[in-house]
Amino acid sequence: MTSSFDMTRRTLLAAAPAATAVPFVAALPSGAAAAMNPGSVSYRTVTVDGIDIFYREAGPKGAPAVLLLHGFPSSSHMFRDLIPQLATRFRVIAPDYPGFGFSASPSTEVFPYTFATIADLVDKFTDTVGLGSYTVFMQDYGGPVGFRLAMKNPDRVRGFIVQNAVMSVDGWQPDVVAQLSPFWKERTAETEKPLRAMLTPEGTRFQYEHGSTRPERLSPDAWTHDIAGLSRPGNADLQVLMLWNYQDNVAEYPKWQALLKERQPPILITWGKSDPFFTEKGLAYFSELVPTAEAHVYEAGHFALETHGEEIADLSLAFLDRLAKAN
């Protein structure tokens, strides 16, 4: 006896198209579907010096490479929308630093959380994932990491895309200097207070919302992701340690400035003008050192990618295309 289920099944099969795209895709060799869509993002982890480093990767393996270096208190998550856009023509890799995102968070007794050690780790990471030369896209903390990579391997860094990262004292907002100066002079529970306030959910959300003229484009996923990372046991302490160690970057500014002045690398600057941390003087100084630097200013805040991602992606692609043709 034929059941009603069997009759229904036969009716559906008879009405179905003779062929669909599904069997073809299922029959593709492993990795072929991804090759057809180079914007597809892979999520991987590699171990470097005993530390698990999470990273996002997309794009053709043999294409010119772009290394995306994130800021504070974010991670490679801040590039979630940019990666597929750049990956249509370039190999794109975005790691999380130790203590950020999905990378391991060793204790401060095990890992010192200086920008020098992070840059060394990222340098070894680039070797591990097979990056030769690359362009650096750097935001905030990504600046000190990216400049250290360029100092160590100047011939490997083909150019810079700068999104609100500085290398001059004039690039800092006065209010931020007023908070950091007492802390750097003497680290105490009292001088730490304004910095720990930045690590609260309110302080983290502020970094995204301040100065934004397109609030409808601000995804709560951004600060929620960051807050989750900051809320891990012990993470606030390592973040304070990194803010303490940021003074090492200021001491390195003259070296980075000399590097740019001497080598005159290709530079694209995309800048949120209402950044609560960095001023437009920080942008202007890049152009003073490298007159050929291309600069674009947006009515945006610290995380301009969140609200002006399409514009920044278009500029970045055009800049990267020019670099590719020049080499």
CB contact set of 97 (below 8 Å; sequence gap of 6+):
70, 75, 103, 118, 121, 122, 141, 145
The two tokens of residue 149 are 């990579």
Q: What is the pLDDT of residue 20?
A: 33
- The three-point CA angle 71-77-81 to 5° equals 110
Q: Which of 41-57 are b and which e, b meaning 16 or more Cβ less than 10 Å from the residue's Cβ?
A: beeeeeebeebebbbbb
Kindly tell me the burial class for residue 116, based on how many C-beta atoms sit within 10 Å of its own C-beta (0-12, 13-18, 19 or more). middle
Contact 178, 187 (CB under 8 A): no
Task: Clarify whether 296 is annotated catalytic.
Answer: no
- pTM confidence score: 0.88
Q: What is the pLDDT of residue 36?
A: 54
CB contact set of 305 (below 8 Å; sequence gap of 6+):
78, 79, 81, 82, 139, 163, 312
Strands 91-95 and 51-58: antiparallel
Block means of pLDDT (10 residues each) for the chain, 327 residues, are 37 35 36 59 97 97 96 97 96 98 95 97 97 96 98 96 95 94 96 95 96 93 96 95 97 97 97 95 95 97 96 97 88
Q: What is the pLDDT of residue 251?
A: 96
* Distance between CA atoms of residues 176 and 253, nearest Å: 17
Q: What is the pLDDT of residue 39?
A: 73
Q: Where are the domains of the chain?
A: 44-326
Catalytic residue among 70, 225, 302, 308: 302
Q: What is the pLDDT of residue 38?
A: 66
Q: What is the pLDDT of residue 2?
A: 41
Would you say the C-alpha torsion 135, 278, 271, 293 has a positive or negative sign? negative
Q: What is the pLDDT of residue 58?
A: 97
CATH architecture of 44-326: 3-Layer(aba) Sandwich (3.40)
- The crossing angle, in degrees rounded to 10, of helices 201-209 and 220-230 is 150
